[in-house]
Amino acid sequence: MSEANTRETSPWQPSACILCECNCGIEIQLGGEGDRRLTRVRGDKAHPASEGYACEKPSRLDFYQNDPERLTKPLRRRADGTFEEIEWETAIREVAERFLAIREEHGGEAIFYYGGGGQGNHLPGAYSTSLRSTLGSRYRSNALAQEKTGEAWSQQKC
């Protein structure tokens, strides 16, 4: 029996999957007290939209959240191709400076916005309009656009 199976787990807690636009209702069990590990995940039958359905993606939520290789701080690429950790304030400032330099040299239409929509965190979609307006960016796409294009191809609806 594995360590995860022998230690105490929490009661089932309602939550929602964040891995696509559906945000299916799920129930999770955590490891013991103070443990962030998701030991079990299942569809939530009480959820009004998904009614207990959950595809295979939520079964990987613990891996995405607790993978020891997961990045938790911004990294800057050095000239030799290696990376160094930097502070969030530094990363945000440097990214903003690069966007402004691109806009000044090539115009805002040279900036392609990719994000907002398709994943469980929909806030980037709301922020994209003001960001694109500030930068003068005209073009955008998101993960949902790719997901639904593939679905249309696979179901021969295009």
Span 76-94, mean pLDDT? Answer: 97
Span 52-72, mean pLDDT? Answer: 90
For position 3, what pLDDT does the model report? 46
Span 110-115, mean pLDDT? Answer: 88
For position 128, what pLDDT does the model report? 83
Q: With a cut of 70, say whether residue 117 has pLDDT above it.
A: no
Q: Which of 87, 111, 109 is nearest to 99 (CA)?
A: 111
Domain locations along the chain = 3-66, 71-106, 108-147
Q: CB under 8 Å to 41, separation ≥6 — which residues?
A: 26, 27, 28, 29, 54, 58, 59, 61, 62
Q: Which comes out higher in pLDDT, residue 116 or 55?
A: 55
Span 78-93, mean pLDDT? Answer: 97
For position 158, what pLDDT does the model report? 47
Per DSSP, the residues of 29-45 read EE-STT---EEEEEE-T
CATH of domain 3-66: 3.30.200.210
Is the overall model pTM greater than 0.85, yes or no? no
Q: Rounded distance, CA 100 to CA 135, Å?
A: 7
What pLDDT, in 10s, does the model give residues 23-43?
899 999 998 777 878 999 999
**Residue 38 identity:** L
Question: Cβ distance 65 to 35 under 8 Å?
Answer: no
Q: Which of 7, 22, 34, 32 is nearest to 58 (CA)?
A: 22
Q: Rounded distance, CA 7 to CA 151, Å?
A: 41
For position 2, what pLDDT does the model report? 45
For position 140, what pLDDT does the model report? 84
